[in-house]
Amino acid sequence: MTPNFTRRTAIATGIAALAMPGLLRAETVNRRNASAFVKRDWRDHFDSLGEGCLMADIDSRAVHYWGPDGETYALYPSSVPMTEELTRRGYTEIVRKRVGPDWTPTQSMRERDPTLPAYMPPGPDNPLGTHAMYLSWPAYLVHGTHDTRKIGRQSSSGCIGLYNRHIEELFGMAQVGTQVLLL
């Protein structure tokens, strides 16, 4: 390569960055996550669709949902547990759903952060957001969040969090009995 070609390429890249800063930044910042936001096949992870299938890919911070009709598919960015010790992986299912969930932090959460309240009613300060789907594992949920900074990050005490608008959409599609895989 000639020095002129390299310089022209650098200038063109700089101009593109000025014209489309979000596009260039998204390309460089999210490169390691790009494969997560590709449609997946439920057959790679589940034996049947049953009442539907939901897969939370913890490493890529993406939630995939396949409806029982075989046609419905949705993909959402998510928050994931802060540490591997807080992460539970494997198969479970949705056992209960609630609009306007209340929240009672677990004993271990309160030990890690003594400033947490013993109980929090539904509302804008509640970390479970507007909707929650409870899993067969105690204290593990797929829920919304009012704190949008958490999505795409390791920020939970074990749950999978979604933007409130996404959990509302998913809540409307996923039924009690939906199979769940935390991978």
Residue 172's DSSP bridge partners are none
Q: What does the alpha-carbon distance between residue 121 and residue 29 come to, in Å, rounded to a whole number?
A: 37
Burial class (CB in 10 A: 0-12, 13-18, 19+), 153: middle
Residue 143 C-alpha from the chain's centroid: 9
Q: What does the alpha-carbon distance between residue 126 and residue 104 come to, in Å, rounded to a whole number?
A: 10
Catalytic residues: 143, 159
Q: Which helix (H) or strand (E) holds 8?
A: helix 3-19
Residue 126 contacts residue 102 (beta carbons within 8 Å): yes
